[in-house]
Structure 1
Amino acid sequence: MGTVGTRTEEIAGERRQLINVAYRLLGSVSEAEDAVQDAYARWYGLPPSRQEEIRSPGAWLTTVTSRICLDVLGSARARRERYVGAWLPEPLPDRTEWNHAGGADPGGPADPADQIVLDESVSMALLVVLESTTPAERVAFVLHEVFRYPFAEIADVLGRSPAACKQLAASARRRVSAARAPEPATGQAEVVRDVRKAWEARDIATLVGLLNPAAVMTADGGGVVGTVLHPVEGAARIARYLVAIADLAPGLELLERSVNGVPGLVAQRAGVVVTVASFDVSDGRVRRIWAVRNPEKLRPWAPEG
């Protein structure tokens, strides 16, 4: 009886790791949670004799979760072609913001977003780059580069040879390497703070100076709320757009918050988060802005109602 109880605890204890794998593969908290629940359902659907044959339930669950994510990534391409405007990954608050925003009771079951480790592997910049890889490349890269799984195990997930999986990971790594290293958090925080101040002051000239001349802003409203459907390119155009937003939304409050583990901005009206903005800062200037406005992607930021 004790062995069964210990194994049950061991299996339940894998959930945090599985959520971390699935979010990095899918860029969506809700889809990650669904994938992990599906993997657990498959585990508990196995006959007890089969469960006993599996020496490492954690490895089995990781393999199954990754395969489920691979299938989701394959179908996501078609779904995102029908998506209204640009599709961006779901932004995550840090643990204190999640709890403060009305997430899980610290003494109760943890919500999925509360279990995700916020490090450079969940930065918006990396997740956006991974969107440009194939599903197999993304799985190989995340499992090997982030979680250090050997290619022999990844081969079991992808149904390919270890050598082929190594090639897939290398291909994804080249795309990731093409994106320059982000600014240290301290430097990024200063730039983001300056952007907030200039935005609040409707100071177009200062905003232009804080943006790389070739900066690009991408917004995700999902067709649910109004926003630009195509990326806004160029420092001057972005600055004018930001000021126009401020003029059209009186009472908009800008807050400096951690977004996916790095400094970002949160815009709220009447206490409700309406936009979460992530930044890619290099050489003291903003190169990319990703603004998520789709309410469905802002649930981790929403107060409990």
Structure 2
Amino acid sequence: MKILITGANGQVGHALTQRLASLGEVIALDRQGADLSKPEGLVAVLDAHRPDWIINAAAYTAVDKAESEQDLANEINTKAPGVMAAWAEKHGARLVHYSTDYVFDGQLDRPYREDDATAPLNVYGATKLAGEQAILATKAQAWVFRTTWVFAAHGANFLKTMLRLGQERDALSVVNDQIGAPTSASWIAEVTARLIEAENTPATGVYHLAAAGSTHWQGYAQFVLSEAQRLGVSLKVSPEQVAGIPSSAYPTPAQRPMNSRLNSDALMGALGLSAPDWRTDVAQVTAELVGQAKSSSKGV
């Protein structure tokens, strides 16, 4: 089995490259190998490798920058997935594509299900939704996994930023009126592997893939710092000193949904899995980063 991964240098792409290595021949492509900003070139890439599975972990994810770079976001998030789905349909390949909670407006007072109405608040969310639709418009065997608040030891993310700022700053204020579930790239990769391994794959279509439980960004930051403190990290800001602020106090070019919670019951049921509580993987990644820092300081 030949598995082609796009966006191999990203958080999810990196985790996928590691997890899927045991399932077959993995072709892990970064932007140089598969440039989604030039969708017309993807057919040649796919023709050259002829994968059985296409795992599209590449995306334009600069949410605020997308407000002024709509054309580029559209090429990467909308047109490129459509090209990959069309190739998969033509050649009998299977496609896994990752989408986002940002396809919703965040107004519901419960976790979003797959059949809830979409209404993106920003360009990023709109281009990701259009990418889903481009895939579903084909007859490809395709699974779209919407996920949320992704983090990993690899790459840039909120967890790593808070760990750094907790050691550098004397005060820290974090938004506390947006809620979601921090979801690890390793869990996303694990679920993807289970899909590929499944004897009877779930029906194609859109599924939600997120960790269990929920928190707000302030609570997320406090948990990271409490774990770091427990592991002996010297902090300038203790967890209880992280102040909560409303989104209105931290304006951004792109509006964010207040509720980013996703109900993953459909996918978990189809694959016979149970989603881990968000704290489990956050604690694990925090410990990994602290361990790396300690090894580095010792010159190991």
Q: Which structure: larger Rg?
A: 1
Q: With structure 2 as the length reference, what TM-score do the two structures score?
A: 0.31
Q: With structure 1 as the length reference, what TM-score do the two structures score?
A: 0.31
